[in-house]
Amino acid sequence: MPEAFIDIVRRLLPLPTAPYHEHHVIEEVRRFASQRSLSVEADEFGNLSLSVGAPTSGLCLTAHLDHPALGIARRESTRDILFEKLGGVPTNLIRDARVLLYDTVPG
């Protein structure tokens, strides 16, 4: 696998991708492009496109910017946290599930 692809993956995959919080990924894509003098275009739906080299060859990465997640609605006590569902995650799949909490954005 090309090292350039691995670099992109290492930068993007650790970022939170909860619905309504896509800005983390968008900012990293824009930062990546800026560091390489690449242009970024956004369509009316917020999809980003980066162009490198000739239009007939190159690498194309595509991904959905958000994934179902839980957000902290409020802290009930020092031990209990009330979460809100973000996106279309069925309740039966997350009841009593273990979760990872992010208090900062990786990187």
Q: Identify the pLDDT of residue 31.
A: 92
Question: How far is Cα 78 from Cα 43, in angstroms, rounded to an integer?
Answer: 44
Name, in order, each residue with C-beta under 8 angstroms of 2's C-beta and a sequence gap of 6 or more.
59
Q: How many CB atoms are closer than 10 A to CB 66?
A: 16
Q: Identify the pLDDT of residue 76.
A: 93
Indicate whether 77 pLDDT > 90. yes
Question: How far is Cα 18 from Cα 71, in angstroms, rounded to an integer?
Answer: 8
Q: What is the pLDDT of residues 14-68, one digit of tens each?
A: 888 888 888 888 999 899 889 988 888 888 888 888 877 666 666 666 677 777 7
For the chain, domain boundaries: 1-107
Q: Identify the pLDDT of residue 1.
A: 65
pTM: 0.66
- Beta bridge partners, 41, equal 49
Higher per-residue pLDDT: 77 or 49: 77
Q: Identify the pLDDT of residue 59.
A: 67
Query: Contact at 8 Å (CB) between 75 and 81?
Result: yes
